Structure 1
């Protein structure tokens, strides 16, 4: 019986150091000739068929990396030789190799545990009971990960490439971040990657730095969940440098502008716009996120106040938020007092955001505000009625309260922001009038 390690791709371009070939293992005996792929990869120009590992002199690869690779090839060959029995099949060989790379891949019943990141994300979404809009977000991340794996296999020629939570390293994260930032350029350069994909999964423009951060932040949450649930990982984020998101100073509606929208006469407008106005105003009055609105019911009203646990933080650092209802909020709820389940009617996110911009236009709220350009990270000026969205309501609640009382702890107890929150700290720079008050103190 003989065990041989080999690669199928014999050479790469002379100066090509990015192409990777998969290392296969072949077992030959009198009545046996089986092959299976490992997860080991090597640049074809660096492979020595004679030594079944790195060539003796490879200047671009460190000595420790060469030794580790050669050791793994040797260990796998010895493992296969030691476990070999007559009558084994290719499935036996593949399972043996998989167990070497993933010691915990099989549970007690002998059923393989799927450690692919995409499969773990699906399990994470299912078991966490996430909001529908958050599920959509993770669905988009999954499709991007699948495209990245396809890119690694078809373009970088790492044939057996797959992101798995128990083997993923910080280097994989850096490669994935680079892919996210440049993918919009790959559509025309490597059309085979996108062949057969739905148009919604084909990127048409550059993803912002904040967008890339959001994707990686969500993957980090999945990896932390793995650690908490006993799923082995290499903790790649502990050695990965996360670029922090860039945000401008929060802008928000003044109380006067908010009241203009509240008082709009919409009797001649579609019913949908009237409902969306009520939901938006209610958000402005209690400061919750859009995703929390559908979860609120009559049971959340306790002694004249709304009490709820924000869904975004319910697993990490759950805290009950309590916001007294003022007269405007009570008047809005009275219009929907016959509802038996949710406090307010169901809405579609995209339509809701469109309505908010229309409401701002109808109220004449078109002043210019500074926002961060997602591509250049530079501040640009845009009119409120063109960029308003549901999160404006939360900023309006927090901004106007902070302007009145300047007490982050008190406001945080009603907004759900935790102590030291970076998001909340940005509100401390929101109002020139506050700065003027301070300067007047030393006049």
Structure 2
């Protein structure tokens, strides 16, 4: 990408000449006036010989100490505007270069720069990465869940890598929130889909503060969720007038696709509960924690934060972290005999936490898979592959996770009582939650009864 400065021969009424700009990249080559006027003696010209052997003049702004203070300040101001204009042109070209910009594109872009960029320079030059940092700082509470913070930090890292990838070809590229449009958002979305590919091809975009970390292939649901986080940041920025408008107003997000929830039957849960893990106390403790979660249905983020004083008169009381900031609601779940037995087994007056030891979320998921495998829960189930969205057959222990405990709680209660409002009181779901629609699938026993009724 090459910029060259030229000055016109005609002067205006004050004796100034207009700067014109030539922009070249590959086969693209256009020149246009900039509407920036300056005194002729503020330019230096140098003769150069091109690759073809022809002589030409190259102009540069003169900002030497020999100039008067006023002239030097004016030249500096013009140089700064010209630099911002070049950045703006590069950014705009990044968005349209595959569409073969039309004749007169450069002139139109410069005109748009003056009409849109300069009057609201502070708003439009809000960098997206910095905006995400501000959003996290201003909307996070001390009680905010770790998963929320982790999700926004992953978004920040992906956006920073997107910028780093663009700067490989366009060194001056910076992603400004005020300049984002539907085309830019589509490019960001495509980058999220192939981020692991770009990191493997250009390892440098994953090196440096805020850029490092392992990147896995993402399915459509994961990309949609990450775009929703970006949408939340932009909606907040527009609402607080940090940017002129929300670029997502004209952008349509995809729909998440889920399969039928897979959960443990009461018989399978009982098999896990009664399995002898006395030879491995580590598995025995994590098994009990998992069974307790199956009996109360809380999310893993809430499970990890439970304390002994959350149990009051045989009832678990907690405020779900996922809804704490916007819709704080105390969830009360009476503990059944199994859950009470587990609580009493690990009761310790000298410990605040409900359980003595907890793994990280990923470690907890891995150990749940190991527990189900050792118990022999190999029932085959059909699930939706998160990457391809195609139905695939898996063994039960292969897809086990902490969220299976929550599904087990909800699925078995809903199967017996078929009342979404009652189950929502125990699970913390909002009234009319779309998540519940997947639990309404009629189970095999009911289907058999229905068919037998017309035999």
Normalised by the length of structure 2, the TM-score is 0.75
Residue 413 (structure 2) aligns with = 401
SS in structure 1 at match of 2:333:
strand
Structure 1, 368-377 or 168-177: larger mean CA deviation: 168-177
Is 2:268–2:377's contact at 8 Å kept on the other side of the alignment?
yes
Residue equivalent to 2:153: 139
Task: Compute the displacement of 1:255 (Å).
Answer: 0.3
Aligned to 1:86: none
CA displacement 1:47-81 (0-9 Å, x = unmatched)? xxxxxxxxxxx9845999975751432677xxxxx
Alpha-carbon separation, structure 2, partners of 1:189 and 1:154: 12
1:215 equivalent in alignment to 2:235: no
**Alignment CA distance shift 1:286-1:5 (3 Å):** farther
Specify the alignment match of 1:148 in structure 2: 162
CA contact (8 A) 1:169 1:234 kept: no
Look up the SS of the partner of 2:120 in the other structure: helix
Tell me the CA shift for residue 261 of structure 1: 0.8
**Helix, strand or coil: the match of 1:369?**
strand
Could you tell me which residue of structure 2 aligns to residue 102 of structure 1? 122
- The aligned counterpart of 2:56 is none
| C-alpha distance 211-5 of structure 1, shift in aligned 2 (>3 A) | farther
| CA distance in structure 2 between the partners assigned to 1:63 and 1:126 by the alignment | 47
**1:421 positional shift:** 1.7
* Aligned match for 1:315, one of 320, 325, 344: 325
The corresponding residue for 1:338 is 348
Q: Which residue of 2 aligns with 1:161?
A: 174
Moved more, 24-33 or 411-420: 24-33
The equivalent residue for 1:245 is 256
Alignment of 1:42 with 2:83, yes or no, is no
C-alpha deviation, 1:170, in angstroms: 3.3
Counterpart pick for 1:297 among 298, 301, 307:
307
Instruction: Give CA deviations for 1:13-34 in whole Å, capped at 9, x if unaligned.
Output: 22799xxxxx998975633432
Distance in 2 (alpha carbons) for counterparts of 1:223 and 1:199: 21
Residue 280, structure 1, aligned to residue 290, structure 2? yes
CA–CA distance in structure 2, aligned partners of residues 24 and 389 of structure 1: 62
Q: Residue 115 and residue 257 in structure 1: after superposition, are their counterparts in 2 closer, same or farther (change >3 A)?
A: closer
**Residues 313-356 of structure 1: CA deviation (Å, up to 9, x unaligned):** 22233333221111111111112221542222333212211110
Report the Cα distance in structure 1 between the residues aligned to 2:336 and 2:257, rounded to whole angstroms: 34
Change (3 A) 1:104 1:283: same
Contact 1:409/1:419, CA 8 A, preserved across alignment: yes
Partner of 1:356: 368
User: CA 1:75 to 1:289, structure 2 compared with 1: closer, same or farther past 3 Å?
Assistant: closer
Q: What is the deviation of 1:113?
A: 10
Count how many residue pairs are aligned between Structure 1 and Structure 2: 395
Give the unaligned 5+ runs of structure 2.
1-13, 43-69, 94-98
Are the counterparts in 1 of residues 193 and 218 from structure 2 also a CA contact under 8 Å? yes
Q: Which of 1 and 2 has greater Rg?
A: 2
Q: Which moved more, 1:334-343 or 1:406-415?
A: 334-343
Shift of 1:440: 5.2
TM score, norm. by length of structure 1: 0.77
Which residue among 110, 115, 119 is the counterpart of 2:133? 119
Distance 1:240 1:263 in 2: 52
User: 1:44, 1:217 → 2: CA distance?
Assistant: 24
Counterpart position of 1:93 = none
* Cα distance in structure 1, aligned partners of 2:168 and 2:267: 57
In structure 2, C-alpha distance between the alignment counterparts of 1:232 and 1:191, rounded to whole Å: 32
- The alpha-carbon deviation at position 38 of structure 1 amounts to 2.5
Cα distance in 2 between the residues matched to 1:221 and 1:319: 22
Q: Which has the larger displacement, 114-123 or 137-146?
A: 114-123
